[in-house]
A and B are shown apart, each in its own frame.
Chain A
Amino acid sequence: AQSVSQHNHHVILSEAASLELGCNYSYGGTVNLFWYVQYPGQHLQLLLKYFSGDPLVKGIKGFEAEFIKSKFSFNLRKPSVQWSDTAEYFCAVNYNFNKFYFGSGTKLNVKP
């Protein structure tokens, strides 16, 4: 079965620090890649996605992610985090235009 791994379960940063959250997925054919975010008390929402083309994709609120096919990775980055980025972040992979698989999530706490 396919799987998605997020190795950082809980990250604590100070404001203005740089962020990188890891996401690795198992081989399974054609993949579409997503990062979702869940702010406290809010719905899960899309942060960014990669289907094809430029492997560096930009999303909302200054986030970006890089698809590295050879490493089966889709890491999320932000150069300078803000307190309002405190949330839980989920990596998701869609295999072969079929089911989605989600990682276990990373809780980010940004200290003001």
Chain B
Amino acid sequence: KAGVTQTPRYLIKTRGQQVTLSCSPISGHRSVSWYQQTPGQGLQFLFEYFSETQRNKGNFPGRFSGRQFSNSRSEMNVSTLELGDSALYLCASSWDRQGGNTEAFFGQGTRLTVV
């Protein structure tokens, strides 16, 4: 059974640019969540999508956005990149059961460096 796939694995961007990250969840999983991980802050929740709708959102500025497609694949976009956006971005998928998440399974992450 294939796991969660994130692409690309590594990315270097310049301040002011925008970036799009992709996540393919485990087959059958309908919920996809995105997290930002930095050494100082740990794992910070960005947002969660379920059936193409954003269900939960963390405390990040509007420059961070996402979407989910009908096949449950998800993308997140960061516009006007800042140096502080450098982080490991993690995607997690779960099989949503009766309105509540079960445990989530993570991808390997995308390492974004903003220069």
Partners in one complex: no
